[in-house]
């Protein structure tokens, strides 16, 4: 079973699998930062449950192996996840990155890659787990909204938080305009979290998250200093 301690440090790149279901803009952001040398990683494969996902084209354009595993062909979530595990076994994966993967993973997969799965969610967790987060933030008249990167556990959108970025909500905002501003922040904080994991700056020890060897009791809030690490 992989864990953060098994990352290959500064010598060998961290082997990553990215799961996508749609456009894959977060995948593209990570591809770009890997290619630019900001993230010491190799995207070993991209897996999708949707054969029409544009994220697959993004991967192919970057010469990354792709795999299509359609969940509708499997009777149970566990059977689908077992097929995912078979594909992952081909690669020496140290980190799974969920980039708009519209399937809830079962313990069958989570237990095999415990503490090595990251997800990004379009809200300031713990607010608004699940779907339609932007509409819910507008309906609640929130003044701030944003996005969060967290480790994946069996509880939906409730794994330990890593980093968050906030945006102000404008009176004129629609779901689309708010979503667009949040997405720009996603394209920053997700590569950062992946970078930190691959550098072993971000680790889990004894069910606690550590960042730069200090216990992380709450999510890191995005700052200009963090953004500079991707430039």
Catalytic residues: 121
Residues 6+ apart with CB under 8 A from 96: 16, 17, 18, 19, 88, 113, 116, 117, 118, 152
Contact indicator for 80, 74 with CB cutoff of 8 Å: yes
Number of Cβ within 10 Å of residue 151's Cβ equals 20
8 Å CB contact between 19 and 99: yes
CA gap 14, 195 in Å, rounded? 9
What distance in Å separates the CA atoms of residue 45 and residue 67, rounded to the nearest whole number?
A: 7
């Amino acid at each position: 079973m992989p864990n953060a301690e098994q990352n290959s440090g500064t010598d060998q790149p961290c082997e990553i699998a990215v799961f996508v279901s749609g456009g894959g803009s977060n995948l593209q952001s990570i591809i770009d930062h890997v290619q630019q040398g900001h993230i010491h990683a190799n995207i070993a494969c991209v897996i999708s449950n949707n054969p029409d996902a544009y994220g697959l084209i993004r991967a192919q354009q970057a010469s990354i192996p792709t795999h299509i595993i359609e969940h509708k062909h499997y009777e149970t979530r566990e059977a689908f996840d077992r097929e995912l595990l078979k594909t992952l076994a081909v690669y020496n994966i140290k980190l799974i990155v969920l980039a708009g993967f519209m399937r809830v993973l079962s313990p069958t997969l989570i237990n095999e890659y415990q503490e090595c799965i990251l997800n990004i969610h379009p809200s300031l967790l713990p607010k608004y787990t699940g779907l339609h987060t932007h509409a819910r933030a507008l309906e609640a008249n929130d003044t701030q909204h944003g996005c969060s990167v967290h480790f994946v556990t069996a509880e939906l959108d409730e794994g330990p938080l890593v980093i968050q970025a906030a945006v102000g909500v404008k009176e004129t905002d629609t779901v689309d305009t708010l979503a667009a501003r949040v997405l720009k922040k996603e394209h920053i904080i997700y590569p950062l979290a992946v970078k930190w994991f691959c550098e072993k700056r971000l680790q889990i020890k004894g069910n606690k998250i550590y960042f730069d060897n200090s216990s992380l009791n709450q999510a890191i809030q995005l700052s200009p200093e963090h953004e500079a690490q991707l430039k």
